[in-house]
Structure 1
Amino acid sequence: MDLDTQIDPSPLITRKFSSRLSSIGGDDHDYNNEQSSITLTDFQRTASDAHISENSSSSIWRERILHPCTSMKIYFADLSSFFSWRFLSWLAIQNFAMYGGVSALVMSVSLPLFKEMGIDASKQQLYSTMTLSPFALKPFIGVFSDLFPIKGYHKRYLALISILIGLIGCSTLIALYHNRNAKEAALDPDTAYRLSDLLVICFFCMNVTAANLDILGEGKYSEIMRKHPESGSSVITFKFACSLLGSIVTNSYVGPLTDGGHFHIIFCIALGLLLTPFYPTLRGWLSEKKRRKSDPGMTKICCGCLFDQGSFQKKRTPFIVIALSGLAVPLLSAVTTFASLGIGIGVSMIVLLILATVTYVVFPRVVFRIIVAIMLIKISHIKLGGVLGYYYTADAQCLPDGPHFSYTYYITVAGIVGSIVNLIAVMLYQTYLSSCRFRPALMCTILAGAIAPIMDIILIKRWNHVLGISDKVFFILGSAIFEHFVNIVVALPMMVIFGKLAPPNMESAVFSYAVGIATFCFMMSQLWGSAIIKWSSMKTVGTDCNFDELPAIIGVCQILLPIIVGIPATLLIPNRLQTEPLIDWTKERWYEEQEKDENITESLTRVLEEESAEQEEGQCTEEVANEHLFT
Structure 2
Amino acid sequence: MIFISVFCIANIDVLSEGHYSRLIKRHPAPGADLISWIWALIMVGAIIASAIQGPLSDLGRPTIGIFISAGLQALCVFFFIFNWYGEKKNLVERKEDYLFLLKQESMKARTDSEPIKEGVMVYDIRTNKIERTSSAPHDEPAPRNGGNELVSFGELDDDAIEGDFVTATCLCGIFGVNKEIISRNVSVAVYGVIMTAGVVALTVLNIMGTTEELLYGCVGISFVLCATGFLCIPMTIMKANFFGWCQLVSYILISGGTDNFYMSDAECLPNGPHFTQTFYNTVGAVIGNVAGLFGVYMFARVFSKQSYRVTLICTILVQVLASVFDIIIVERWNLYIGIPDHAMYIMGDAIVYEVCYMLNYMPLNMLISRLCPKGCESTMFALLASFSNMGASTSSTIGAILMETVWPISSSPPCDFSNLRWLLIVGHLITPLISIPLVFLLIPGTRICDPIDPKDVEALSIFQKWLNKFDATSNAHTKPQRKPLPDSEE
- Normalised-by-shorter TM-score class: 0.7 to 0.9
Shift of residue 415, structure 1, vs aligned partner: 1.1
Shift of residue 319, structure 1, vs aligned partner: 2.2
Residue pairs, 1:255-266, within 5 angstroms: 255-266=54-65
Indicate if the aligned counterparts of 2:370 and 2:457 stay in contact, CA closer than 8 A.
no
Counterpart of 2:207 in structure 1 is: 338
Counterpart of 1:218 in structure 2 is: 17
Counterpart of 2:223 in structure 1 is: 353
Q: Is residue 465 of structure 1 aligned with residue 354 of structure 2?
A: no
**Equivalent residue letter for 1:345:** L
**Equivalent residue letter for 1:446:** I
Q: 1:603 to 1:259 in 2, by over 3 A?
A: closer
Q: Distance in 1 between matches of 2:13 and 2:415?
A: 39
**Equivalent residue letter for 2:344:** F
Q: 1:439 to 1:277 in 2, by over 3 A?
A: same
Q: Distance in 2 between matches of 1:383 and 1:230?
A: 36
2:373 is paired with a residue of what secondary structure? coil
Residue pairs, 1:279-290, within 5 angstroms: 279-290=78-89
Counterpart of 2:166 in structure 1 is: 296
Q: Distance in 2 between matches of 1:329 and 1:286?
A: 34
Give the counterpart of 2:261 among 381, 388, 391: 391
**Equivalent residue letter for 2:320:** A
**Equivalent residue letter for 1:324:** V
Q: Is residue 499 of structure 1 aligned with residue 298 of structure 2?
A: no
Shift of residue 278, structure 1, vs aligned partner: 1.6
Counterpart of 1:558 in structure 2 is: 428
Indicate if the aligned counterparts of 1:232 and 1:580 stay in contact, CA closer than 8 A.
no
Indicate if the aligned counterparts of 1:226 and 1:503 stay in contact, CA closer than 8 A.
no
Q: Tell me, which stretches of 5 or more residues in structure 1 are unaligned?
A: 1-168, 170-202, 611-631
Residue pairs, 1:481-630, within 5 angstroms: 481-536=351-406, 538-563=408-433, 565-572=434-441, 573-585=443-455, 590=460
Indicate if the aligned counterparts of 2:39 and 2:296 stay in contact, CA closer than 8 A.
yes
1:213 is paired with a residue of what secondary structure? helix
**Equivalent residue letter for 2:178:** D
**Equivalent residue letter for 2:436:** I
Shift of residue 368, structure 1, vs aligned partner: 4.0
Q: Distance in 2 between matches of 1:385 and 1:299?
A: 49
Indicate if the aligned counterparts of 1:501 and 1:583 stay in contact, CA closer than 8 A.
no
Measured on the aligned residues, the alpha-carbon RMSD in Å equals 3.2
**Equivalent residue letter for 1:561:** T
Q: 1:499 to 1:588 in 2, by over 3 A?
A: closer
Q: Distance in 1 between matches of 2:279 and 2:480?
A: 79
Indicate if the aligned counterparts of 1:332 and 1:344 stay in contact, CA closer than 8 A.
no
Shift of residue 541, structure 1, vs aligned partner: 3.3
Indicate if the aligned counterparts of 1:456 and 1:478 stay in contact, CA closer than 8 A.
yes
**Equivalent residue letter for 1:473:** A
2:284 is paired with a residue of what secondary structure? helix
Shift of residue 507, structure 1, vs aligned partner: 1.6
Give the counterpart of 1:275 among 56, 62, 74: 74
1:401 is paired with a residue of what secondary structure? coil
Counterpart of 2:284 in structure 1 is: 414
Give the counterpart of 1:245 among 20, 41, 44: 44
Q: Distance in 1 between matches of 2:271 and 2:457?
A: 62
Between Structure 1 and Structure 2, how many residues are aligned?
A: 407
Q: Distance in 1 between matches of 2:172 and 2:205?
A: 36
- Cα deviation code 1:204-246 (max 9, x no counterpart): 2211111111000001111222233333422221121111101
Q: 1:357 to 1:265 in 2, by over 3 A?
A: closer
**Equivalent residue letter for 1:339:** M
1:453 is paired with a residue of what secondary structure? helix
Shift of residue 311, structure 1, vs aligned partner: 2.4
- Cα deviation code 1:434-461 (max 9, x no counterpart): 1111111111111111111110000010
Percent of paired sites with the same residue: 24
Residue pairs, 1:75-474, within 5 angstroms: 169=1, 203-291=2-90, 296-300=166-170, 307-321=177-191, 323-340=192-209, 341-474=211-344
Shift of residue 583, structure 1, vs aligned partner: 4.4
- Cα deviation code 1:456-481 (max 9, x no counterpart): 00001000011111111111111222
Q: 1:484 to 1:291 in 2, by over 3 A?
A: closer
Counterpart of 2:103 in structure 1 is: none
Q: 1:314 to 1:422 in 2, by over 3 A?
A: closer
- Cα deviation code 1:516-557 (max 9, x no counterpart): 212211111011112222224544432211110001111111
**Equivalent residue letter for 2:205:** T
Q: 1:301 to 1:418 in 2, by over 3 A?
A: same
Larger Rg: 1
Q: 1:370 to 1:484 in 2, by over 3 A?
A: closer
Q: 1:559 to 1:492 in 2, by over 3 A?
A: same
TM-score normalised by length of structure 2: 0.75
TM-score normalised by length of structure 1: 0.59
Shift of residue 347, structure 1, vs aligned partner: 2.1
